[in-house]
Amino acid sequence: MAPASLAEESTSRGSIGARRNPETEAAVLDAAEALIAEEGFAKLTMEAVARRARAGKATLYRWWPSRAHLLLALYSRAKNTLTQPETGSFSGDLTEYLTSMVRQWQGGRAGMGQIFRLLIAEAQMDPAVSEAVMRERQERWHHIDTIVAKAQARGDATLSVSHVRIEHRIISMMWYLLLTDQLPAEAEVPGLVRDLLADLGGTLSP
């Protein structure tokens, strides 16, 4: 029998439960990543992950109520490896950060871009997944806020739109490129950033 959709598996088991053992959590996420790389998303089941990680299935469902929540944890772990750039310029920081994001979405044995596309699709059908995805987004996109704040503090960028609008435009642009299979090559990101800043009404220092 084929595994249920992510939406069908969700929420009947309630919220994430007891405090997690970091070693077990890492083993579960490693197992999920390996299974996706070897067999693809369609064959990923909580049972297979538990078996590979040598963890109890009940433990997995306490920590991740559905496969979607497990995939979100895997994606969030990968996003945590993105560091805050410190190039000294607005365009440099934004270019470095978005280049790292493109590299992560396009690479990796589990395909983080593909995972995120799946999560966005499931979020349209499952309110619990939607809430979890938006919560993760709010936690992870603070890098862009910091990049903009530092640029404004240095005085190397004057923008005609608000801080929030800048974040929204960058996020929506990157999501659109991902969802329509138009992510640029890493070498094309600097040009993308130049066009973006021009659209934002940005004036950059030399």
Distance CA 144, CA 188 (A): 19
**Domain residue spans in the chain?**
6-76, 78-200
78-200 CATH fold: Tetracycline Repressor; domain 2 (1.10.357)
* pLDDT tens digits along 124-178: 888 888 888 887 777 666 788 888 888 888 877 666 677 777 888 888 899 999 9
6-76 CATH fold: Arc Repressor Mutant, subunit A (1.10.10)
* pLDDT tens digits along 2-58: 444 554 444 333 333 456 788 999 999 999 999 998 988 888 999 999 999 999 999
Distance CA 17, CA 77 (A): 19
Q: Which two tokens stand for residue 49?
A: 């992950």
CA angle 173, 72, 46 (to 5 degrees): 145
Instruction: Say whether 78-200 and 6-76 share the same fold.
Output: no
Task: Name 194's Cβ contacts closer than 8 Å, sequence gap at least 6.
Answer: 91
Task: Name 20's Cβ contacts closer than 8 Å, sequence gap at least 6.
Answer: 63
User: Which residues, listed in sequence order, are joined to residue 157 by a DSSP beta bridge?
Assistant: 204
Q: Hey, how many other C-beta atoms are within 10 angstroms of the C-beta on 182?
A: 8
